[in-house]
Structure 1
Amino acid sequence: MVKHTGRPGYLQIADDLRAQIRGGALAPGSPLPSTAQLAEQYDVSLSSVKTAVGVLRTEGLVVGQQGKGVYVRDAAEAPADLAGEVAELRSAVQELSVRLARLEERVTSTGHPA
């Protein structure tokens, strides 16, 4: 059941399903319960469940098969170097932050854009 913690219900559901996947309760290749079953289990709307499953799809933890359902993705099928991609993104954000700080400093010190 979703708790009233201020955290959106769909994220609580995604957190719980993610923990079940990582903990082995939902094994690779196994189907997730149906949207209706999950909605009943968590006492939420179908749209909350669909959004939660969408989060897991985006993370690469589950994959949908048209007309069959949603299945836990095998770790071997997950994106190859997710950690590497995250590191690259962090580096790019850091670089942009430094550049933005320089631009803000110029604007502040001169009173107009560089």
Structure 2
Amino acid sequence: MVEKSGRPGYLQIADDLRAQIRTGSLSPGAALPSTAQLCQRYDVSASVVKAAISVLRTENLIIGQQGKGVFVREDAAAALTAEEPASSEVMDQLAQMRSTLAVLGDRIADLEKAVFPEPKRSR
């Protein structure tokens, strides 16, 4: 289950799956559980699971095969040991940027409400 820690759910799922790959729970060539199974396991929507899968695909840890599923790459363990710290740092920075953008979006909405008040509606 995804924790309400402030870290986006898709990153928590990607971290968990990455750890499973690192420890060998998900070995090279192994199929990842289906999207539906991951949704149920982590109690999230399909879009959150797909975002996590996308992160791992970008990190070259998994590969999708149309109509067959998503599988751990044969060289995933080597990729983890070589690039893990840098990609984790980048993902943390992206999460911080998303958070900052959300705050800025709220501030802009507040400013727009102050500058452009809603017109009075006639009955």
Whether these two folds match at TM > 0.5 is yes
Deviations 1:9-33 (A, max 9, x none): 0000000000000110000000000
| Structure 2: 5+ residue stretches without partners | 87-123
Query: Runs of 4 or more off by more than 2 Å in structure 1?
Result: none
Structure 1 distance, partners of 2:75, 2:29, is 10
Give the match for residue 2 of structure 1.
2
Greater Rg by CA: 1
Structure 2 distance, partners of 1:75, 1:65, is 16
Deviations 1:67-112 (A, max 9, x none): 1000000117x77xx66xx7xxxxxxxxxxxxxxxxxxxxxxxxxx
Give the match for residue 108 of structure 1.
none
Q: Scaled by the length of structure 1, what TM-score is found? A: 0.67
Q: CA deviation at 1:3?
A: 0.2
% same residue: 68
Give the match for residue 50 of structure 2.
50
Structure 1 distance, partners of 2:49, 2:55, is 10
Aligned length: 82
Structure 2 distance, partners of 1:25, 1:58, is 20
| 2:58 alignment partner AA | T
Q: Scaled by the length of structure 2, what TM-score is found? A: 0.62
Structure 2 distance, partners of 1:49, 1:23, is 21
Residue 71 (str. 1) matches residue 84 (str. 2): no
| 1:45 alignment partner AA | S
Structure 2 distance, partners of 1:75, 1:25, is 15
| Structure 1: 5+ residue stretches without partners | 87-114
| 2:19 alignment partner AA | A
Root-mean-square deviation over aligned CA pairs: 2.0
| 1:54 alignment partner AA | S
